Amino acid sequence: MTSSSSSATPASELLPATCRALTHRIAVGQAEGRTPSLVGAVAREGGQAWCGARSMLEGHEPDGGTQYRIGSLTKTFIAVLVMRLRDEGRLDLADPVGTYLGAGPAASATIAQLLSHTAGLPSETPGPWWERSPGDLRPGLGDILGPAPHPAGRRFHYSNPGYGLLGALVGQLRGHGWEEALRREILDPLGMARTSAAPAEPHARGFAVHPWADVMQLEPADPAGLMAPAGELWSTAHDLCRFAAFLLDGDDRVLTAATLAEMRTPASPPGDDAWAGGYGLGLQLFRHGGRVLYGHSGSMPGFLAALCVSPSDGVAGIALANATSGPDISGIAIDLATIVADREPRFPARWQPLPEVDQSLLALTGPWYWGPRAYVLRLLAGRAVELGPATGRGRASRFRAEPDGTWTGLDGYYTGETLRLVRGADGTADHLDLGSFIFTRTPYEPGAPLAARPDPEGWRPF
């Protein structure tokens, strides 16, 4: 077994009992999943905190630098490249992909629909299954697309060809292949030198294990051609810890934390009565034990992979196996994150006073009333504010300060809505207007605007 390694970004050390629990989870996963090898890792506080492995041969465990094929985890990398283009103003997520590519039956699908698997496209390509056949069997984009089985925008339907289109879109707008964009824009900035479209030694070999006997055979690893953006990449536990740290906190060299938050917002109902999962823009959502995690799972012949991030705990779990089926790879990754989160919860950020305060904004803090309902306005750093119920549940949002003196909602019901301070004729603060909801300093304040106007007879017993 290996522990935190100098080849990965250093992070705080875990307690011995936590490390043993993580190692035990990997051992159980390898044994019960009947997989030749299983590597697990945990990232927190900006880097790798633990890495361990279990192999069918004692003394031949892989380490955190061994490559495994990560399958559909590739899609998250493609989504990051697309969101970078959006943030640069090169495209709009509402644009039809046909604006940029000859996309045949998918031409009217929007980029957002492709990212979120709501474009109505088929799950797989026509003809031989792309994961087990050479990519040169599908030389053009038209060869990866079949008839759409669902109306666009109506439901979640996982589509591998949709990500083939997104990879081609990145290449079209960058003027070089998506692999080169990946290297320049994600891998190099994050220091992920062992992530690549083709395997590089040392790497694991992919196996299929017989369902009813303890024997196995090698699986093919053909290049996927135009379908490569759906699942081609190879990576390591060390590299994926770096990627997990990026997904947790953002990195302005790649994507901001605000754009990552947008990517993990559910784009459609999960289609699951238990709401155990969902999908954003290139990120899977997992709900487990009261936690909502995000990341992605992946599979290709001979390989399974999962990366699951718990933002509330600041921790991520990673699991890699070289078997076509067997271990519950997402469950293992979630368990690794949960073991650390439960045994070693992170410390909250230190309370500190604001570095500076605008006295005019400070005067606005405290109770405000929407009709008879009490709300509280709190002042945050950077002239931001938070407005939420004084007691109980209700609509609460944080608001970003704008240059014109207004605020824009960042989360909750009021995301994107404008909060304005309205002053009276004498220049004093009169009321807050939040998308036509009026908040006054007293309940149903006399002289308030129409939306908050009191009964002329005032408060009285009936």
Given this structure, which CATH class describes domain 16-343?
alpha beta
Note the pLDDT of residue 269: 67
Please state the pTM of the whole predicted model.
0.89
Residue 161 has pLDDT above 70, yes or no: yes
pLDDT in tens, 305-323: 999 999 999 999 999 999 9
Note the pLDDT of residue 270: 57
Residue type for position 60? H
Residue 388 has pLDDT above 80, yes or no: yes
Confidence of residue 13 (pLDDT cuts 50, 70, 90): confident
CA distance 106 to 148: 8
Assigned token pair, 341: 């989160």
Residue type for position 374? A
**Interval 352-372 mean pLDDT:** 94
Confidence of residue 157 (pLDDT cuts 50, 70, 90): very high
CA distance 388 to 396: 4
Residue 7 has pLDDT above 50, yes or no: no
Lowest mean pLDDT among 6-20, 202-216, 307-321, 419-433: 6-20
Note the pLDDT of residue 11: 59
Q: Are 319 and 333 in contact (CB under 8 A)?
A: yes
User: Would you kindly state where each structural domain of the chain is located, as residue ranges?
Assistant: 16-343, 359-452
Residue 67 has pLDDT above 80, yes or no: yes
C-alpha dist (Å) from residue 87 to 104, 255, 260, 282, 419: 27, 8, 11, 15, 25
Q: Are 203 and 237 in contact (CB under 8 A)?
A: no
Q: Are 116 and 280 in contact (CB under 8 A)?
A: yes
**Interval 239-265 mean pLDDT:** 96
pLDDT in tens, 260-272: 999 999 887 655 5
